[in-house]
Each structure stands twice: as structure tokens, then as C-alpha cells.
């Protein structure tokens, strides 16, 4: 590795990576509709000499790109989907919608995808330069937001044969992700009743909207009687119409049920199904329960986390200049004062004195210019990721890199607005450097990979992966 300079090689593709990221930001395609974003990435990787497999596991916007031969086989995960109804002008200091009900990259997956591509290309160039044994596979993973694309990919065996998998995520801090996340189910509840004139003959109608509302009330009463770590969210996706003088014959709600383990999710899901049937019984309507998607909890791997942390500390944090700090400071002024304490990645850290001291050193800065200490914690943070389904199949670890003003909340217009900035680009390039450095080190470290596999086996404790999405459920683009 001494004769191969990762930073030098990164400099040669810097413009291509930032251009790719900005193009994906512009496209802002949502779950399972990311055809153009995926095509941009596949075309670039094909030009770089990767063997690209499209339509991976029969998922049209999923793919793999492979280079090399022999062991170890290192997987790098890439995402590129946006969020619905987060359209926003770049670099604007107030909410400025480009397209009503349009999409926006409010979770930074345009950066995620481009940096992962960069990491894979750098590993490919290393293998090419050294002629050593090893294989790198870039996985194009669609539909993380509300689609659990990786769960479908895992169900189809996409990650079989990997020795390890690495991922990252844009954030407003620099750290190794060292905790589990919540498993989830997402389900549609569609009620069907009977329409009638709401004044002249209300007694002849059977309101599907009443059923939706009664179900929501029932679920809200259920909250007291489920484990405190669980989360239940819902959206009314069809109210049946906009005429109050009609007894609404159709209505629909979409529920997202989260808990630390998939078995907890299933138990809560069963109870919510009963509430839905009860609401239908009360209103003399019918209910169709349609499973939409699910993802598993994350299985941590401390051995791989140490590899990532070593690479992060050696590569260092993104290097910001005065213009970067000024830019971020303006966005900090648009944020609530509590946003930093609610940063989801910070919730992963044990509050030991060393971590507290480091966090205190940045809390008055507009950007995180340090790497937070690695603080392994057997805890669950209140978020979900389909990376969990990868982690049930192969030793997996991930990290976060600062790409936004400190405390910028995910899924916000502020995050979309900052997505094409120099700050975001610096985070992207740093992530690519860390992914490449970690992967190249693992190519020469059979002992570490063996220990990571041993930890993986110990953690799953004989429980083979079972995809939480039933076999008959197929991925679908988001309803708008």
C-alpha cells in the first residue's frame, strides 16, 4: 500500500465524483424510481472497468459493479434515493420550493452514492496497480427511504459471498456508527365502506374515514402498552375525498412500526392489525391489510468498527476554511437550539467523559472539524436503516462524515439546501478516502476479517437470516 497514494488518486477523480453527486441531487428520484441516478453510476463504473450487473435480484434500479478476483471480497454499499415533498433550492437560507410536491435529497444519499463509488474506484485502482488478490463490489441499493431496498436484495441473495460490507452516511458529525437501529414494518390499511348523502341519508352510509380515525385512536391508546423503545407513526394517505357532505366510502392509512428487534415489531404489528379489524367492525366497513415493506435491526461489528476508526483517524476530518465556516454559520442560525442534542448519530455514543469533552469542544462551532471518539455501545438509536438486512448476512460496519452545518436535522429543507455546497463535497471526498483506506487495509488482513466473522457468528447466535418482507411482496414505487 506504501506505493499507492489514496489521496493522490482521489484528487484525479474529485471532479467526477462531485459532478456525479450534483447530478443525482438534481434528479432527486425517490424509491424504486431511481432509473436515471442508477444509470449515471453504472455508466461511470463501467467506464472505470467494473463488471456491472443490472437489475440485481430482479430489482430494476439495483445493481452490482465488480472488479478483481479472489478473496477477500469486500462490499461497499451505495444509496441514491431522495425524499418526496422536499423540493428545495440549493444554498437558500430559507425554505424555497423548486417544484410543488417535488422531491429533494433530505438525507444526503446523493453524497452517499457518489462517495461509495469513489471508494470502490480507488480500491479498483489499487488492485490494478498492485496486481494483488481481492475483489471489490459496489452495490447500488435503491429505495432506502420507505422502501427497504436492501432487504429485497438480501432476500434475493445479493450479499452472499461477501467477506465484509462497509457503508457510510452523510451527517453533521464525524464518527464510527457503533450501535444498533430499529427494525420496522410498514403497512397500508385500506378501509372500504358505503357512500351516502351526509345530510339526507347518513344512516345509509358506512364511513371508511370513520374507520381510519377510530383505528388511529385505538393505536394511540395502544402506545401505553408496548415497550418504551418502540415507535409507531402513521399518515392518512387517502381521506376518501374533499366533500364533507359525502359519507366517505374509501380511506387509507399507512403505518410504520419500529422496535429494537424484528420479533418485537411483529408482535406490535399483530396488535395493530387487530385494532384495524376492530375499527372495521365498529363502522361496518371492510379492511384490507397490505404489507408494504420492512427492515431488520442492525447487527454491530466492533472488529470492523475499529478498522473504520483507524482509517478515519489516519485520514483526518474534512478540512474547512473560513468560507466554509461562514457558510455553515448562516445555516446554523436557521436551526432550533436543540438540534445538536437531537443529532441521531450523537445518540449512538456512550456519554463517557472523553466523548463529552470532545462534543463540548464543537458545540459552539458551525461545523464538526474533529473525529468523535469511538465509543462502542450496546444500545439502539431511534432510527431505522435497511443496512440492518445486510448486517444479518455478512459482517458490516458504517461511519458518518460531516457534510452539513452542525446539528442540521435529516429530512429537512436545510439538509437539501446544503447538498451541493463545498462543505458537502468535502465530506463526500473524505468518505471516499476512508472507504478506500479501510478496504485496502482489509485486503491484507485475513486475521481481522476472521475475527469480524467470528464476532458476526457470535452475535447472530445461530439465528439464520429471515427476510422480514414476505416472499409474495414485491417492491413498489412510492404512492404520491
Write the CB contacts of 361 (distance below 8 Å, at least 6 apart in sequence): 370
pLDDT at 359: 80
Could you count the other beta carbons within 10 Å of the beta carbon of residue 59?
Answer: 24
Place of cell 417492491: 475
Residue with cell 428487534: 261
Query: What pLDDT does residue 349 have?
Result: 62
Under DSSP, is residue 446 helix (H, G, I), strand (E, B) or coil?
A: helix
Q: Are strands 396-402 and 164-171 parallel, antiparallel or unpaired?
A: parallel
Q: 3-class secondary structure for 322-386?
A: HHHHHHHHHHHCCCCCCCCCCCCCHHHCCCCHHHHHHHHHHCCCCCCCCCCCCCCCCCEECCCCC
State the residue for C-alpha cell 442560525.
333
103 with 30: CB under 8 angstroms?
A: yes
Helix (H/G/I), strand (E/B), else coil: 51:
strand
Is the Cβ–Cβ distance between 381 and 181 less than 8 Å? Answer: yes
Cα 308 to Cα 438: distance, rounded to the nearest angstrom: 6
- Quickly list DSSP for 389-408: HHHTTS-EEEEEEE-SSTTP
User: Which residue's C-alpha cell is 438534481?
Assistant: 26
pLDDT of residue 360: 80
Which of 125, 109, 285 lies closest to 211 in space, CA to CA? 285
Look at residue 75 in the predicted model and tell me its pLDDT: 98
Question: Residue 258 forms beta bridges with which residues?
Answer: 184, 231
- Of 131, 44, 50, 38, residue with least CA distance to 78: 38
Radius of gyration of the CA atoms of the chain, in A: 23
What pLDDT was estimated at residue 91? 98
- In angstroms, the CA 349 to CA 343 distance is 11
Phi-psi region of 32 (alpha: psi -120 to 50; beta: other; left: phi over 0): left
Residue 478: predicted pLDDT = 79
Please tell me the predicted confidence (pLDDT) of residue 342. 59
**109-130 and 35-47 are packed helices; what angle lies between their axes, rounded to 10 degrees?**
20
Q: Are 308 and 434 in contact (CB under 8 A)?
A: yes
- Give the pLDDT of residue 350: 57
Position 480 scores a pLDDT of 60
Facing residues of 253 across strands? 189, 236
Q: What's the confidence (pLDDT) of residue 68?
A: 98
Burial code of 389-406, b = ≥16 C-beta within 10 A, e = fewer? bbbbbbbbbbbbbbbbbb
The pLDDT of residue 340 is: 57
pLDDT computed for residue 330 by the predictor: 97
Q: Provide the pLDDT for residue 382.
A: 82
Please, are residues 86 and 29 in contact by the beta-carbon 8 Å criterion?
A: no
Using 70 as the pLDDT threshold, list the residues of the chain that sit under it.
Answer: 1-2, 337-353, 480
- Angstrom distance (rounded) from CA 252 to CA 410: 27
The 8-class DSSP code of residue 236 comes to: E
- List of domains in the chain: 6-180+297-460 (3.40.630.10), 183-295 (3.30.70.360)
> What DSSP element (H or E) covers 63?
strand 63-69
The answer to whether 68 touches 134, Cβ cutoff 8 Å, is: yes
How far lies 114's CA from each of 14, 53, 246, 363, in Å? Answer: 10, 18, 50, 29
Q: Are 135 and 60 in contact (CB under 8 A)?
A: no
If you search the block for the grid coordinates 475483489, which residue do you land on?
Answer: 135
Q: What cell does 342 get?
A: 437531537
Amino acid at each position: 500500500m506504501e506505493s499507492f497514494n489514496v489521496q493522490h488518486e482521489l484528487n484525479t477523480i474529485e471532479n467526477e465524483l462531485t459532478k456525479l453527486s450534483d447530478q443525482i441531487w438534481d434528479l432527486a428520484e425517490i424509491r424504486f424510481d431511481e432509473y436515471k441516478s442508477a444509470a449515471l453510476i453504472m455508466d461511470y463504473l463501467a467506464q472505470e472497468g467494473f463488471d456491472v450487473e443490472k437489475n440485481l435480484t430482479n430489482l430494476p434500479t439495483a445493481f452490482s459493479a465488480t472488479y478483481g478476483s479472489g478473496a477477500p471480497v469486500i462490499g461497499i454499499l451505495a444509496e441514491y434515493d431522495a425524499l418526496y415533498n422536499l423540493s428545495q433550492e440549493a444554498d437558500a437560507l430559507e425554505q424555497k420550493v423548486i417544484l410543488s410536491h417535488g422531491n429533494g435529497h433530505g438525507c444526503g444519499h446523493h453524497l452517499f452514492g457518489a462517495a461509495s463509488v469513489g471508494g470502490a474506484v480507488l480500491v479498483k485502482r489499487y488492485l490494478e496497480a498492485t496486481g494483488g488478490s481481492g475483489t471489490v463490489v459496489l452495490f447500488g441499493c435503491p429505495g432506502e427511504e420507505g422502501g427497504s431496498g436492501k432487504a429485497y436484495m438480501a432476500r434475493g441473495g445479493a450479499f452472499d459471498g461477501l467477506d465484509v460490507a462497509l457503508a457510510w452516511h452523510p451527517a453533521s458529525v464525524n464518527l464510527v456508527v457503533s450501535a444498533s437501529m430499529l427494525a420496522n414494518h410498514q403497512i397500508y390499511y385500506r378501509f372500504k365502506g358505503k357512500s351516502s348523502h351526509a345530510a339526507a341519508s347518513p344512516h345509509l352510509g358506512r364511513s371508511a374515514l370513520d374507520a381510519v380515525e377510530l383505528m388511529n385512536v385505538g393505536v394511540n391508546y395502544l402506545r401505553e402498552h408496548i415497550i418504551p423503545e418502540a415507535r409507531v407513526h402513521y399518515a392518512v394517505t387517502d381521506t376518501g375525498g374533499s366533500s364533507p357532505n359525502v359519507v366517505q366510502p374509501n380511506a387509507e392509512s399507512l403505518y410504520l412500526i419500529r422496535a429494537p428487534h424484528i420479533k418485537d415489531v411483529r408482535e406490535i404489528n399483530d396488535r395493530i392489525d387487530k385494532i384495524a379489524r376492530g375499527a372495521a367492525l365498529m363502522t361496518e366497513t371492510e379492511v384490507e391489510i397490505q404489507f408494504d415493506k420492512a427492515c431488520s435491526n442492525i447487527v454491530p461489528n466492533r472488529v470492523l468498527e475499529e478498522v473504520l476508526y483507524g482509517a478515519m483517524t489516519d485520514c483526518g476530518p474534512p478540512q474547512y476554511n473560513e468560507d466554509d465556516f461562514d457558510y455553515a454559520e448562516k445555516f446554523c442560525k436557521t436551526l432550533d437550539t436543540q438540534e445538536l442534542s437531537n443529532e441521531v448519530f450523537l445518540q449512538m455514543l456512550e456519554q463517557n467523559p472523553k466523548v463529552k469533552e470532545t462534543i463540548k469542544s464543537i458545540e459552539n462551532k458551525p461545523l464538526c472539524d474533529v473525529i468523535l471518539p469511538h465509543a462502542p455501545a450496546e444500545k439502539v438509536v431511534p432510527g431505522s436503516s435497511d443496512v440492518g438486512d445486510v448486517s444479518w448476512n455478512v459482517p458490516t460496519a458504517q461511519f458518518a462524515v460531516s457534510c452539513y452545518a452542525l446539528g442540521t436535522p435529516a429530512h429537512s429543507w436545510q439538509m437539501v439546501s446544503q447538498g451541493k455546497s463545498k462543505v458537502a463535497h468535502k465530506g463526500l471526498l473524505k468518505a471516499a478516502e476512508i472507504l478506500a483506506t479501510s478496504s485496502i487495509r482489509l485486503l491484507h488482513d485475513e486475521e481481522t476479517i476472521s475475527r469480524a466473522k467470528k464476532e458476526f457468528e457470535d452475535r447472530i447466535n445461530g439465528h439464520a437470516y429471515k427476510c422480514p418482507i414476505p416472499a409474495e411482496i414485491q417492491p413498489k414505487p412510492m404512492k404520491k
